Amino acid sequence: MVNLKTGKSDRVKGKDVYGKMMTLVRTQPKQLSLFQTFLPETDDKYSNTIDLYDAVPKYFPTKHMAGRRESGKYLPILEREFEHRGESYKLKMRPARMQYKDGQEREYYPSYREEIIEEALRKIASDRLNGVYLDDRAGVQFTLYALRKKLWARGHALNLPDLLEGLKICNLASLSVQKADGTAIIQAPIFPVLLVASKEDWLQNPKDARCYVQFNPLVTASIDHLTYRQFDYLTYMSYKHRLSRWLHKRLAHNYIQAGLLSPYTIRMSTILRDSGAYQSKRGNNNAREIDNALEELKTKRVLMKFTKDIVRGPRNRLVDIAYTLQPDMDFINEMKKANARLKRLSVQ
**What is the per-residue DSSP string for 231-289?**
EEHHHHHT-SSHHHHHHHHHHHHH-TT-BTTB-EEEEHHHHHHHH-----SSHHHHHHH
CATH code of the domain containing 314 = 1.10.10.10
Determine the angle formed by the axes of helices 112-125 and 242-254, rounding to 10 degrees: 40
* Cα of 112 vs its chain's centroid, Å: 9
Same domain, 262 and 116: no
C-alpha dihedral sign at 216, 339, 251, 80: negative
- Distance, CA of 217 to CA of 222 (rounded, Å): 9
As a whole number of angstroms, the distance between CA 27 and CA 287 comes to 48
* 312 and 340 co-located in one domain: yes
96 falls within a domain: yes
Q: Which among 35-44, 202-211, 328-337 has the top mean pLDDT?
A: 328-337
Residue 297 vs residue 25, higher pLDDT:
297
Residues 139 and 12 placed together within one structural domain of the fold: yes
In this structure, the answer to whether residues 125 and 87 fall within a common structural domain is yes
Same domain, 245 and 212: no
Q: Is the pLDDT of residue 182 over 80?
A: yes
Start-end of H helices in 6-57: 30-35
pLDDT-derived band at 27, boundaries 50, 70, 90: confident
Query: At which of 174, 195, 223 does a domain end?
Result: 223
**Lowest pLDDT segment from 190-194, 200-204, 301-305, 308-312:** 200-204
Residues 76-98, mean pLDDT to the nearest whole number: 97
Per-residue pLDDT, 1: 34
Say yes or no to pLDDT of 3 above 50.
Answer: no
Mean pLDDT of the chain: 92
SS3 4: coil
280 and 201 both lie in a single domain = no
Are 67 and 195 in the same domain? Answer: yes
Range of the domain at 287: 239-346
* Number of domain units in the chain: 2
Please count the other Cβ atoms lying within 10 Å of the Cβ belonging to residue 95: 23
Q: Is 231 among the domain residues? A: no
Q: List, for residues 53-70, the tens digit of each pLDDT value.
A: 999 999 999 999 999 999
**232 within some domain:** no
Inter-residue contact 34 to 348 (CB < 8 Å): yes
Q: Does one domain contain both 219 and 297?
A: no
Q: Rounded distance, CA 306 to CA 40, Å?
A: 29
Asked whether residue 270 is domain-assigned, the answer is: yes
Q: Are residues 176 and 320 in the same domain?
A: no
Instruction: Please name which of 95, 236, 70, 62 lies closest in space to residue 172, comparing C-alpha atoms.
Output: 95
Residue 233 lies in a domain: no
Q: Let me know if residue 229 belongs to a domain.
A: no
pLDDT of 8 > 70? The answer is: no
- Looking at residue 129, its pLDDT comes to 84
Whether residue 276 sits in one domain with residue 217: no
Tell me how far apart the alpha carbons of residues 339 and 325 are, in angstroms, rounded to a whole number: 20
- Tell which of 223, 252, 277 closes a domain: 223
Domain end position, chosen among 173, 189, 223: 223
Residue 70 domain-assigned (yes or no): yes
Alpha carbons 39 and 341: distance in angstroms, whole number: 6
Reported as a single tens digit per residue, the pLDDT across 121-156 is 999 999 888 999 999 999 999 999 999 999 999 999
Give the CA dihedral 70, 73, 74, 80, nearest 10 degrees.
Answer: 90
pTM, two decimal places: 0.92
Q: Are residues 178 and 77 in the same domain?
A: yes
**Whether residue 204 sits in one domain with residue 65:** yes
Residue 287 lies in a domain: yes
The pLDDT tens digits for 301-346 are 999 999 999 999 998 889 999 999 999 999 999 999 999 999 999 8
